[in-house]
Amino acid sequence: MLMKKLSIAAFVLAGLTASLHAQTPAPAPARTPSPTVAADKAQLQTDRAKVQADVAKLKTDKAAGDKAAVAADKAQLKADKANAQADRAKLKADRAQAKAANKAAHKAASK
């Protein structure tokens, strides 16, 4: 009697396992990196390099005592920092847009 119950339980378990494997959803589409986000990241990297170069030039001109060059360097540094901040905001917006597009694609694929 015990063997009969065990064999029935094993049969039911095997059926449930097969049923679960049959109901496994298809894999969702891969998340593709956005070319816009990649371009924004590259631009931001360029902006960082410009700011670093501006800081180095400012330090050099301060050490040399060139007041006119220091004033010009500060103006350039301020402009490059503002540009970098604008590019960071653009990257943030583009990431949000790409994330929403990926989410919509996954939602459509899961239906």
Counting residues of the chain whose pLDDT is more than 90, the rounded percentage is 59
Residue 31, C-beta contacts closer than 8 angstroms, at least 6 positions apart: 102
Please state, rounded to an integer, the average pLDDT across all residues of the chain. Answer: 84
Better pLDDT: 66 or 9: 66
b/e per residue, 6-24, with b = 16+ CB within 10 A?
A: eeeeeeeeeeeeeeeeeee
Handedness of CA 54, 56, 58, 61 (dihedral sign): negative
Give the confidence band of 52 by pLDDT, cuts at 50, 70, 90. Answer: very high
